[in-house]
Amino acid sequence: MIMKLAMAGLLATTVMAVVPAQAETLRLLTWGSYAPDELVKKFEEKYPDITVEVTFSNNEEMIAKLRATGGAGFDLAQPSHDRIYAVQQEYNIYKPLDLSKINTDVMQDKLLEGVKANTTIDGEVYAVPHQWGTSGLMANKTMAPDVKAWGDLCDPQYKGKTSMRLKRTILLGMAFDMGEDPFAAYADLDKYQSILDKVADKLIACKDNLKAYWKGGDDLSAMMMSGEIVASETWDSTAYKLYGENKDIVFVPPKTGALAWIDTFAIPRKGEADDAAYKWINFVLEPENVKIMSASTGAIAAVEGGKDLLPDDKKAAVNAAFTDADIDNLKFFANIPAGVEDMEGKTLEKIKAATGSE
Amino acid sequence: MMQKDIKRLSLILLFAPFALWIFLLIVLPHLGMFYISVREKVGPRMYEFGLGNYINFFAEPIYWNTLIRTGSMSLLVTALALLLGFPIAYYIAKIAGNRTRGALFLMCLIPLWVSDLIRAFGWILLLRETGIISSSLQWAGVINTPIEFLYNDAAVIMGLVYTVILFMIVPLVSTLDGMDNSMIEAGYNLGGNGPTVLRRIIIPYAMPGIVSGCIVVFMLTAGSYLTPILLGGKNSSWFTEQIYDQFITRYNWESGAAFGFLLLAFTSLVVWGGLKLSGQTLNSTVAKS
Amino acid sequence: MQSMTENDLATTDNDLECVQVRKHFGSVRAVDDVSFEIPKGSFFSILGPSGCGKTTLMRMIAGFESPTSGDIRIKGNSVIGTPPNKRNVKMVFQHLALFPMMNVYENIAYGLRCAGVSKEVIRTKVHDVLERISLPDVANREISQLSGGQKQRIAIARCMVLDPDVLLLDEPLGALDLKLREAMKIELKLLQHQFDTTFVYITHDQSEALVMSDNVAIMNQGKFVQIGTPQELYHNPSAAFVAGFVGDTNRWAGKVTRVENGAVEVATEAGLTMRGSVRGTGTPAVGDTVSAFVRPEFISAEKTGASDKPVDPAHNVINGKVDSILFNGANSRVLVRDGAGELIEADVVLTGSTQDLKPKDNVTLSWSPEQTMCFKA
């Protein structure tokens, strides 16, 4: 507590010291590639009195940063839709959005309603969608033509030639693959624990089949491009990027459905530039800006016809990967109730610590 | 009287930056961390005082196994760094000429000019299955199929030794440098052979440097994060990774803080044990070099 | 060059022999054709200015360097190719090189342990040697707790406990203060007598060499110039270098004007004329350049006209004026400026009476031609 106070105090004073009276600073806490220079420059030209400062991060670190300051230090954050509800209840780090200031008309209804439903607490909405994408499989068609499901990563015919990231995505994917519905089990944590135990057994047995756990897009790309692995769990954007370089490497939505996430806009509780934040939200959802953004991120904007605003090569990759049926089959990540991260964390530790026959 | 006051004032002024540094950056955060580590979460935004986070650590074999694994691998890294660093330091301090000495020191320093991440990627490029070592071995006809050198404990240890060896070499060079050459000659002159002189004269003389190098290297290794994560295999967990996971992925600051303290206690214990075994004190080693 | 024919003993009785030892570093001849023999139980010094090659010579004897050519024999056996730890030659280093991480006992026991001596024997031997150097109670002290003189003795004891054939000492008194150095000179000599071991002592300090040694070798530019007893070196130097290096002396450069059965008349550059005796190799002829040396104690200085005793007509006589008095008790000296403007040193007795010489007094200096040592340049 002492530390928190001290840090908050320090931050407050520095912030007051650096922000000039007229010019406003928009401190953006977002994913790498979610604030391309071109777009930032364009925004600053349009609003000359606003300066944009960008900090790149990921879901967990975004929340940790905001938690450390009680929601201060940033004016706009972009966590995934499933990271709002429980986090807000637990740590109170976001503030409700004023939807009248957001141009919600351009957003795709289904996604907007989905996010709103997931992030409404006491009648207040805390997040709106920005972009969405999926996690699924990636395979080299020539070397691993049969990879169709999460479980195929454990197929002995690809022994030593598959990979995954040891994070919650693979736990959920594998659960679906084993015929369970983990999101439904969020309501009954005992049930969820039993699913996790089953998944852990499967993944421990599977360890031998993997080459390594990948840790980021770079090492995954390197292993895939060099042919050291032939199939892997992946983010779709990574797969699209590799498709651009090697047409044999495609994104494969698993037959149980690709897991879909929506990155949102949320305003930290102690944000100091709400107006600038709303301006940014509306700005990046303008069609010509969506194009710039999607070219940088490889994700699809949550606007009507978002897929068509992708650059041509990415569009080709998406078309090569998804059929309409696949899109219907998407499994959107459900809100994570309190305590689930801990259960999942323990399961992941157990898998990591288990010594296979290596 | 006046003189005395001025003296005292200047003493306080000299001491102030150090005291502030210690207090604000070391004591205060640790107090905060300790406070967090003895909070038990009982519900959303509800905490109780208790040692539950520490008890959890001992109740879960995965945690203390990882700590012991981290500790023993760090000891191995320390031993290897000493084994490799001692001859290098001896060469720099006792054999190399003045000019080569500077160049050699510089070469030892170069790895520190790039970030941890870049260094790890360098190793990845070398060691991976389609990497430089594997393909050149194939080209030379030594092996028929590519070999994966990456993603195992040996790669982690190699990467760590490479990163920390400088911190072993520097204190060793400075103690060996202070050793009069005639001490070694006297060792031979009085009838000692090479191994005897090494064991009875050079190593005891260099002991303060050895111990201080080992302490620094051990601490750095046990506290390192990127190298073991990036080079490690499917089973190689490192304790700092656990701490990161507790803090960041699992939002469990309470347990992460407790783990942090346990790591601190564990490494301190190992260092204390090492000092006792070698008969050195902190004053005669780290404070000296 | 010149071996000690006077002391020629049977070869086996020599503890150390060097035969035409050479050491060249590139084109530098650090040690150039040095031969000598040291009989058992003597105190032998090698005296020379710094850089004369004496340290290199000693390091070759100890085995830290190997000679370019020549032979080194210890007790008659060649040690060329024998590593330093296998030679029974021990060495006291310039800064002693006591091991700071061991106490006194361990320092002395180190060599015995290397030799694989049993624990009980080590204990007895260490205590014996401590007894002999009169430091029986320091066994458990740390090196840093010893005084300079004690360290010195421990360094010697550490070698002597191994019963070496030869003990080498490399300017071990250099680091001590003056008073202690004087005391240690005598002590070293006594220790050498007590242990009855051959000491080879290396120094650039002539008084150390003269006081302690049975024989001294004067070394210059890699060569031995003369070997002899301290008295021989002092009174009968065989070369101008020795005359100038050993002891204090007045020195003139001049030309021979007359030669007369073993005696010469020399006109110095400043214009003095003196008679002297020919020393060293080579007989000078008229016109040759020579160096003339006269030691201060052989010059008598009297107030001009004060004495009615007639001056020996054979003596050299010079009148001058006292420039300054260097009072040092029994070793007092007077600096006299002669007519040519040069300063001449002469020993005088200063009793404290009014008869003593004072600056600006006119004095008459006289000395015998036999004490005027002339060397052909």
pLDDT for the residue numbered C37: 92
Q: Report CB contact under 8 Å: B234, A4.
A: no
Q: How far apart are CA B235 and CA A212, in angstroms?
A: 9
Q: Is residue C119 part of a domain?
A: yes
pLDDT for the residue numbered B1: 60
Inter-axis angle of helices A287-297 and A37-46, to 10 degrees? Answer: 150
Task: Give yes or no for A211 touching B (CB within 8 A).
Answer: yes
Q: Is residue C327 part of a domain?
A: yes
- Do residues C290 and C300 share a domain? no
For residue A39 the two structure tokens come to: 């777009």
End-to-end CA separation in angstroms for chain C: 19
Task: Give yes or no for B127 touching A (CB within 8 A).
Answer: no
| Closest of A73, A126, A62 to residue A98, by C-alpha | A126
- Do residues C289 and C304 share a domain? no
Domains contained in chain C, number: 3
For residue A297 the two structure tokens come to: 């991120």
| Closest of C283, C291, C281, C312 to residue C240, by C-alpha | C291
- Do residues C136 and C169 share a domain? yes
Task: Give yes or no for B235 touching A (CB within 8 A).
Answer: yes
Domain boundary among C275, C294, C313: C294
Contacts (Cβ under 8 Å, ≥6 apart) of C24: C30, C68
Q: Report CB contact under 8 Å: B247, A1.
A: no
For residue B21 the two structure tokens come to: 């540094």
- Do residues C26 and C156 share a domain? yes
Contacts (Cβ under 8 Å, ≥6 apart) of A276: A24, A25, A26, A47, A50, A75
Q: How far apart are CA C247 and CA C228, in angstroms?
A: 15
Q: Report CB contact under 8 Å: B35, A2.
A: yes
For residues B11-25, b (16+ Cβ closer than 10 Å) or e, as one string? eeeeeeeeeeeeeee
Q: Is residue C199 part of a domain?
A: yes
Which subunits sit against C, judged by 3+ Cβ pairs under 8 A? Answer: B
pLDDT confidence tier of residue A36, bands split at 50, 70 and 90? very high
- Do residues C198 and C111 share a domain? yes
Q: CB atoms < 10 A from the CB of C286, how many?
A: 11
End-to-end CA separation in angstroms for chain A: 45
Q: Is residue C373 part of a domain?
A: no
Residues in chain A: 358
- Do residues C230 and C259 share a domain? no
- Do residues C11 and C122 share a domain? yes
Which subunits sit against A, judged by 3+ Cβ pairs under 8 A? Answer: B
pLDDT surpasses 90 at C89: yes
The strand pairing partners of C35, in sequence order, are: none
Domain ranges, residue C282: 242-294
Contacts (Cβ under 8 Å, ≥6 apart) of B256: B243, B244, B246, B247
User: Hey, what domains does chain A have and what are their CATH numbers?
Assistant: 2-131+262-310 (3.40.190.10), 133-259+333-353 (3.40.190.10)
Q: How far apart are CA A252 and CA A322, in angstroms?
A: 8
Per-residue model confidence as pLDDT tens digits over C299-342: 988 888 766 667 777 888 888 999 999 988 888 899 999 888 88
Who wins on pLDDT, C192 or A13?
A: C192
For residues B246 and B256, the answer to whether their CB atoms sit within 8 Å is yes
Q: Report CB contact under 8 Å: B128, A222.
A: yes
Find the DSSP H helices in chain C.
54-62, 104-114, 119-132, 148-160, 178-195, 206-212, 230-235, 240-245
Q: The complex's ipTM?
A: 0.80
Please tell me which of the candidates B186, B193, B196 has its beta carbon nearest to residue C93: B186
Who wins on pLDDT, C175 or A12?
A: C175
- Do residues C205 and C310 share a domain? no
Per-residue model confidence as pLDDT tens digits over B205-249: 999 999 999 999 999 999 999 899 888 888 888 999 989 988 888
Residues in chain C: 377
User: Hey, what domains does chain B have and what are their CATH numbers?
Assistant: 53-278 (1.10.3720.10)
Q: CB atoms < 10 A from the CB of A353, how many?
A: 18
Phi, psi of A336 (to 5 degrees): -90, 115
Per-residue model confidence as pLDDT tens digits over C30-55: 999 999 999 888 999 999 998 899 99
Interface test with A, best of B234, B235, B245, B254 (most A CBs within 10 A): B234
For residue B41 the two structure tokens come to: 């979460």
pLDDT surpasses 90 at A328: no
Q: Which CATH number is C89's domain given?
A: 3.40.50.300
pLDDT confidence tier of residue A357, bands split at 50, 70 and 90? very low
How is A33-82 classified by DSSP, letter by letter?
A: TSS-HHHHHHHHHHSTTEEEEEEEE-HHHHHHHHHHHTS-S-SEE--BGG
Contacts (Cβ under 8 Å, ≥6 apart) of B233: A212, A358, B151, B152, B153, B155
**Interface residues on C facing B, Cβ-Cβ cutoff 8 A:** 62-64, 83-85, 89-91, 93-95, 97, 99-102, 110-111, 113-115, 158-159, 162
Please tell me which of the candidates C94, C101, C115 has its beta carbon nearest to residue B191: C115
pLDDT surpasses 70 at A300: yes
Torsion angle of the four alpha carbons C325, C326, C332, C338, in this order, in degrees rounded to the nearest 10: -50
Report the greatest alpha carbon distance in chain A: 65
| Closest of B217, B222, B214, B226 to residue B267, by C-alpha | B222
Q: Report CB contact under 8 Å: B250, A345.
A: yes
- Do residues C134 and C207 share a domain? yes
Per-residue pLDDT of chain B (289 residues; tens, 9 = 90+): 677 888 888 888 888 888 888 888 888 988 988 998 888 877 767 788 888 889 989 998 889 999 999 999 999 999 999 999 999 999 999 888 888 888 888 888 887 888 888 888 888 888 888 888 888 988 888 888 888 888 888 999 999 999 899 999 999 999 999 898 999 999 999 999 999 999 999 999 999 999 999 999 999 999 999 899 888 888 888 999 989 988 888 888 888 999 999 999 999 999 999 899 888 777 777 666 5
- Do residues C189 and C231 share a domain? yes
Per-residue model confidence as pLDDT tens digits over A199-217: 999 999 999 999 999 988 8
Contacts (Cβ under 8 Å, ≥6 apart) of B253: A67, B36, B246, B247
For residues C245-273, b (16+ Cβ closer than 10 Å) or e, as one string? bbbebbebebbbeeeeeebbbbebeeebe
Q: CB atoms < 10 A from the CB of C308, how many?
A: 5
Q: Is residue C377 part of a domain?
A: no
Q: How far apart are CA A71 and CA A77, in angstroms?
A: 10
- Do residues C120 and C57 share a domain? yes
Q: How far apart are CA A175 and CA A257, in angstroms?
A: 12
Q: Report CB contact under 8 Å: A342, B250.
A: yes
Contacts (Cβ under 8 Å, ≥6 apart) of B164: B77, B81, B216, B217, B220, B221, B224
Per-residue model confidence as pLDDT tens digits over A237-291: 899 989 989 999 999 999 999 999 999 999 999 999 999 999 999 999 999 999 9
Domain boundary among C294, C324, C356: C294
Mean pLDDT over the full length of chain B: 88
Per-residue model confidence as pLDDT tens digits over A128-178: 999 999 999 999 999 999 999 999 999 999 999 999 999 999 999 999 999
Mean pLDDT over the full length of chain A: 88
Q: CB atoms < 10 A from the CB of C135, how many?
A: 18
For residues A174-209, b (16+ Cβ closer than 10 Å) or e, as one string? bbbbbebebbebbeeeeebeebbeebbebbbebbeb
Q: Which CATH number is C263's domain given?
A: 2.40.50
Please tell me which of the candidates B189, B192, B196 has its beta carbon nearest to residue C91: B189
Q: Is residue C263 part of a domain?
A: yes
Strands (E), B91-183: none
Q: Is residue C374 part of a domain?
A: no
Mean pLDDT for the stretch of residues A72-86: 92
Question: Which secondary-structure segment (H or E) carries A277?
Answer: helix A274-284
Q: How far apart are CA C155 and CA C108, in angstroms?
A: 8
Q: How far apart are CA B178 and CA B180, in angstroms?
A: 6
For residues B118 and B110, the answer to whether their CB atoms sit within 8 Å is no
- Do residues C21 and C110 share a domain? yes
Chain A residue at shortest CA distance from B229: A215
pLDDT surpasses 90 at A32: no
| Closest of A65, A101, A100 to residue A83, by C-alpha | A65
Chain B residue numbers with beta carbons less than 8 Å from the beta carbon of C142 are: none
Strands A162-164 and A231-235: parallel
Q: Is residue C375 part of a domain?
A: no
The owner of tokens 């990231």 is: A165
pLDDT for the residue numbered C10: 43
Helix, strand or coil for residue C100?
Answer: coil
